[in-house]
Amino acid sequence: MTMKTQNFKHVSYLWDEKVANELEGKEVDLLIYRSNILGSDLRITNYGGGNTSCKTYEKDPLTGEEVEIMWVKGSGGDIGTLTKAGLAGLYVNKLRSLESVYRGLEFEDEMVELFNHCIYDLKSKAPSIDTPLHSFLPFKHIDHLHPDAAIAIAASKDGEKITKDLWNGSIAWVPWQKPGFDLGLQLRDALNANPGIRGIMLGGHGLFTWGDTAYECYMNSLDVIETASRYLEDHYGKTRPVFGGEKVQSLAPEQRKSQAAILAPILRGLASSEKLMVGTFNDSDTVLQFINSHDLNKLAPMGTSCPDHFLRTKISPLVLDLAPDADLSDSVAIKQSFEKAFEDYRAMYASYYENHKHPNSPAMRDPNPVIILWPGVGLFSYAKDKQTSRVASEFYINAINVMRGAEAVSEYVSLPLQEAFNIEYWLLEEAKLQRMPKEKPLSRKIALVTGSAGGIGKGIAEKFVQEGACVVLTDIDAGRLDSALNEFTGKYGKDIVHGVLLDVTDTDSLAKAIQSTCLKYGGVDIIVNNAGISISRKFEEHSDQDWDRLHNILVMGQYHVSKAGVDLMRKQGTGGDVVNIVSKNALVAGPKNVAYGTTKAAQLHMSRLMAAELAEDKIKVNVVNPDAVIESSNIWEGGWAENRAKAYGIDVKDLPQYYANRTLLKESVKVEDIANAAFAFVGGLLSKSTGNMLNVDGGLAAAFPR
């Protein structure tokens, strides 16, 4: 394979000749490779956006003849993470023969079901609505991408003329048309009318490019996007300042983060009036240039142009009427001041639905805004989980780029509202939503677990992640925290877990952890107080320092972390849970344990008092009392094991079995046992339980509540 050399400024050239040579002759593998490197550059296409294909000749299993097969990204996939399992393999001749039964635009949806009759590879992903757009083009490799630069031209008033002039007629233009079979026919007709072209611009939508090989297709795509990007760059600020210039001045970065962290849980609560949402905050230069501009109030209400954008961001954002440096100390007043803005947005969305719905349209979805803009501070996005809210913010940044480019070279044009509605409430889109897996018990929940880099805390954090929660790992040990965070990220991905150093005895450390949590997820729903230490000494040998240390970490730590968490829960107004990991020692008196046992008793009773006071806010407070959980625990450190063994008159090595033997069940208590107990309180089955405790100790009669 002969490699070309070209310097790109606006896209990343990622083709690796060594990798490609190893795949030479394996067209499907080259398709996947090309897709992955294209999808890794957000300037080319965003998560889930665009689709790619290749055509090969394969042996028909029924006839033994060589037949042309198209391999194309299936429904709901992402080219950046595409694998063979994400492809649909279909007979090209069968797909093209569907033209004979196509009944026109009114019957587009029935064609998608017919795609299933064209499947060659029985392991195929469900074919997407874009399948015919690839099948009616004869090229071996095809890219359909949503690069900001191309859409900026496609979404401009003079897009057709710019396309013709910029590429000297080598890129054809097809006006806006909802994706489907008819659009596939239009692409074929555009090619027939313009032989020798290298691509097609879809009005308001995106770009089709192609090549005879995977590499030629890749280079063609990059070159077209680079040309569009350079054209836009040459026009920024040429006739007028970008977005009309700055109207509002940004706060300094740290001030922005401080203000955003304070407001995020309030906005989260308002955006969660129907279902709990998870947030994302973004204050990138791109966002600030737009939200601080004179053109914000003109462009923001217009909505986005590309279907991939508004499917994730809704038709338009909510713009906050709030000074960047506003005093946010009175959260109740701030929340009340925004309630009307949210009510007005919901009313606007309901009107949009009622004015554009069809007799068979799905029921109206959540009318709350997904994108919220605060001039001078940044962009907030709220959705069902972290990945969806993050992707929504990324797509809105794409939309900003499109508006900036379109305004620089012409005039931005958004999709008509009816067209937008037809995409958003498309029955095929609804069917895709209905196929989504059932949400897990802790989906939409955000949990902060103290002391969660190991032992019980880590076990609880992992259980919560597995049940759908976003989890904030916290620990005082940076190395231990990094190790746990890397492990979780490797297993569960970057969105669902966040790590923050936290010393529960240091209020400044706690404030930073809370701010980091709010900026990452928008708030918190579950606080698990697990951080702790154990000191075992004779009564007369305890020092004042022992008492102070135990009290500060266990009692005051629980108090301060709970107080900070409850403050966020009250701002959200959506209730919440506090689970305190205490000990059977809160109930049972034992030797050489007076300071530890006393602080554990204080933790337990504080939990009861908190439950009594916080119930009016629908915040539940419950306790798990473990005993002798030695697995992966720091409890062995600092001489604790030696002192406990000495207290019981046994060797250290016999301590685990000693603990097991003294229980009624004669079994050791494991980390997962405590994690399951914590989950029991927050997983939905005990939603009417507060002020309770659950002993997980293998059965100790002395600890039975009475």
DSSP 179: S
The residue type found at 331 is S
- Judged by DSSP in three states, 91 sits in strand
CA distance 492 to 385: 14
CA separation for the pair 162, 154 (Å, rounded): 9
Active site residue 412: no
The active-site residue out of 120, 596, 658, 659 is 596
Q: Are 89 and 71 in contact (CB under 8 A)?
A: yes
Kindly report the length of the chain.
706
Cα→Cα distances 548→533, 552, 583, Å = 12, 6, 19
Residues 6+ apart with CB under 8 A from 233: 10
Q: What is the spatial distance between Cα 245 and Cα 657, in angstroms, rounded to a whole number?
A: 72
For residue 703 the two structure tokens come to 């600890």
101, 207, 236, 306, 414 from 410: Cα distances, Å: 41, 19, 11, 17, 13
Residue 446: which H helix or E strand, with range? strand 446-449
C-alpha span between 429 and 650 (Å, rounded): 66
Beta pairing class for 87-91 and 693-696? unpaired
Q: What is the dihedral of CA 349, 350, 356, 359, to 10 degrees?
A: 140
* Beta pairing, strands 378-383 & 278-282: antiparallel
What does each C-alpha distance from 400 to 56, 62, 159, 309, 396 come to in angstroms? 38, 51, 17, 10, 6
Dist CA 182 CA 178 (whole Å): 9
- Look up residue 77 and give its two tokens: 């996939």
> In degrees, to the nearest 5, what angle opens at C-alpha 82 toward C-alphas 80 and 87?
145
Q: Which helix (H) or strand (E) holds 97?
A: helix 92-97
Cα separation, 43 vs 41, in Å, equals 5
- The tokens for 124 are 């195929």
With a CB cutoff of 8 Å and minimum separation 6, the contacts of 706 are none
- Please state, in angstroms and rounded to a whole number, the distance separating the CA atoms of residues 278 and 537: 46
Q: Is 577 helix (H, G, I), strand (E, B) or coil?
A: strand
Return the exposure string of 490-502: e unless at least 16 CB atoms fall within 10 Å of the residue's CB, then b: eeeeebbbbbbbb
Nearest-angstrom CA–CA distance, 25 and 21:
9
- At 149 the three-state DSSP class reads helix
Three-class SS state of 254: helix
Which amino acids are annotated catalytic? 596
